[in-house]
Chains A and B, each alone.
Chain A
Amino acid sequence: MYNCKHIEGVSVTAVADQSKKLLSKAEGFGVKKLYTDYHDLLKYPDSLDAVIISLPNFLHRESVEVALEAGLNVFVEKPLAPTVEECEKIVKCVEKSGRKLMVGHSMRFLDAVERMKDQVADGHIGSLETITAEEILNGPFSHGAVPSPIPEWWFNPETTGGGVLLDLGYHMIDLFRFFAGDADVISSCLDHKMNLPMEDAAILLLRSKSSNTKGIINVGWYQQSIFPSFNFRFIAHGNAGFISTDQFTPKNMYVHAIKEGTKNLFRKATGRKIRALSYTYYYEQYIKEMGLFFECINKDLEPPVTALDGLRTVEVISKAYLMSSP
């Protein structure tokens, strides 16, 4: 909702949420139509072009299908759905509806990743041989980023559909696919460091059938990260060199924020459009992906991340779970 504010031609006209606190925030944001049940919001699809679905994992399939059936374009946060079966149903539903669906594979739009992708495509590291991708953070246990206290659905594997592999691992597997073309699991190792019913640490060995690129994915929820540290790195190793997100990520986030904030002040003063959220570095990806979604609707283009991308990623995760089960 906040991000939409900076996308030209987009206005948020209706919001549905069970939380009265969040609805009152939406009201303060100028949204007139407020609902506690998203089904009520979808009763008047004529006044809408698209919906953004940011619901718990177990509600993705149902809500996406209802929105598509109402004739709306859909942006859904990752994962597309927790299981392969649900994802397949969504893929079919998208095809049948003729509407656009984009999944929030936001890390593809991180500045460092975009620049790496360009350089790999331009042959700067030679042929892509291996990828290491790691993201070890606090996951749902991050104060502020997740509603407080953490909603109960996060503690139940029935409602999350999985642990860190479906949460952070999903992004890393998608990035592997983005660079290598496709992904299959060779080996999977899951761990429970925090006495949770779902895995909170995972290491996967991946292989791309099309490019023969191999990859190591290392993800965890077990690290208590403190802003501005962000324990993510993605390294592409080629036969002519390597490239890493660390090379493009600002060394000092405070200096970066001041620099980008000052640039925006100048842009504003000279009547130009600001580059929203650039001072946060990591959050800018959310505006970029959302902007692309609406651009695809306006120009009738295929979204850069489709339901099929979501399905393929969940297929890898599902296989990894099967390989790790006793």
Chain B
Amino acid sequence: MNGKVGNMSVQEMKKDTVGLTKVTDDNLSTHVARSFDLINFKIDRKVESIIIKPNLCYYWDSFTGYTTDPRLVASIIDVLREKYGLDKVNIKIAEADASAMRTSHAFKMLGYERLAEEKHVTLTNLSAERTTTKKVSIMGKEISYEVPESLLSADLFVNVPKMKIMSATILTCALKNIFGCIATPRKLAYHPILEEAIVGINTILKPHLTIVDGMIALSHFPVKMNLLVSGLSPFSVDWTVAKIMGYNPNRIRFLRLARQERLGDPDEMQIIGENLTDFKNKFPHVNAFRLKWQNKLQLKLLRTYSKIVDDVIPPFLET
């Protein structure tokens, strides 16, 4: 990176720098390269394996705001190869099965099979790989994970999450995408302690780089934000994304837990590049209380009603 980023020289930059890059045209690789430069991303070690983890939580493509745009992943591959000279390195795109999603279908339906063919990279189902059991204790809760060994040994682990609201945690982005790396398909089992589980897995798996697909983000509906958020620390990225979405990060429980577990420190982070407020004004804010409790309240009322009246609740509404 040359001399200055925004108004700040490289020497002045704090460790946890988060970069905001506006995607202004179709030349995505240029914007990806710019987002790497913003955070002064450098590779100072030998890299023989790269794993890129997009968010493919279900079968809806990136235009719905649900999943990572394969064009972004393609551009990341291009930049890593061309700018960092990693053209001979084996690159894997990895995702694990989830309670409702099977990776084999998601890769095909979301255009990742085509991408892998075009870019000569490998697709990996983390749920089918060798795993190792890891245990952590978060807020006194013992949590056990099946962690794919390839992620622990990758020379370069790139986290490419999507920026979304989520009723259980208010927002889902960088830290939650790492939760998606757990090999166990039935991740619903973690949901009673979801926030602790998100923080716990992030104490084990540490991506070297995070670049958020904020080109189309998800509020109550998808919204074109044309934004890339880059950072070395997933915690700092999420802290920034929370602000963009109009939330006070201190009031997001999993971020508070992550801070307590020393995954990051907002006092040690800085946001550079584009003006955060411009994106904040663009994102349709959803009230956190409404997001977290509306569905639960509806279901509770419905259950009470059905008990009194002896009416039927369709299984669809129960889930």
Contacts and interface: CB of A to CB of B under 8 A. Distances in A.
A144 B311 contact: no
B319 A144 contact: yes
A24 to B, nearest CB: 14
Interface stretch (B42-50, B58-66, B152-160, B236-244): B58-66
B60 A224 contact: yes
Interface stretch (A95-103, A158-166, A277-285): A277-285
Nearest to A279: B311
Interface residues of B, number: 32
A141 B100 CA distance: 9
Contacts of B98: 149
Given A141-B58, A194-B109, A195-B111, A283 B100 contact: no
Contact of B311 (A143, A155, A227, A277): A277
A143 B312 contact: no
Nearest to B64: A224
A261 B313 CA distance: 12
B100 A148 contact: yes
B139 interface: no
Interface in A256-279: 261, 264-265, 267-268, 274, 276-277, 279
B118 interface: no
A31 to B, nearest CB: 15
A279 B316 CA distance: 14
Interface string A182-218: 0000000000001110000000000000000000000
Contacts of A39: none
A224 B66 contact: yes
B309 interface: yes
Nearest to B100: A148
Nearest to A283: B314
Interface residues of A, number: 30
Q: Which of A3, A274, A279 has the largest number of chain B CB atoms within 10 A?
A: A279
B101 interface: yes
A171 to B, nearest CB: 17
Contact of B312 (A141, A145, A277): A277
Nearest to B102: A149
A157 B61 CA distance: 22
A150 to B, nearest CB: 8
A5 interface: yes
A44 interface: no
Nearest to B305: A261
B141 interface: no
Contact of B315 (A2, A224, A264): A2
Nearest to A257: B302
A274 B314 CA distance: 16
A34 B72 CA distance: 50
Contacts of A194: 59, 61, 109
Contacts of B113: 195
Given A149-B101, A224-B60, A280 B314 contact: yes
A287 B311 CA distance: 12
B147 to A, nearest CB: 22
B260 interface: no
Contact of A265 (B64, B185, B309, B315): B309
B317 interface: yes
B312 A196 contact: no
Contacts of B64: 224
B105 interface: yes
Nearest to A278: B311
A154 to B, nearest CB: 10
Contacts of B275: none
B109 A264 contact: no
A150 B102 CA distance: 9
A89 B111 CA distance: 40
A145 B100 CA distance: 12
B309 A268 contact: yes
Nearest to A263: B309
B310 interface: yes
B315 A144 contact: yes
B308 interface: yes
Interface string B1-22: 0000000000000000000000
Given A150-B100, A194-B109, 19 more contacts: A2-B315, A5-B312, A6-B312, A141-B58, A141-B59, A143-B319, A148-B99, A148-B319, A149-B99, A149-B100, A149-B185, A224-B64, A224-B66, A227-B317, A265-B308, A268-B309, A274-B311, A276-B311, A280-B314
Interface of B: 58-61, 64, 66, 97-102, 105, 108-111, 113, 185, 305, 308-319
16 contacts: A2-B315, A5-B312, A141-B58, A141-B59, A141-B60, A144-B315, A148-B100, A149-B101, A149-B185, A195-B109, A264-B305, A265-B305, A268-B309, A274-B309, A276-B311, A279-B305
Closest 10 CB pairs between A and B? A144-B319, A148-B100, A144-B316, A145-B316, A224-B60, A264-B309, A268-B309, A2-B312, A195-B109, A224-B64
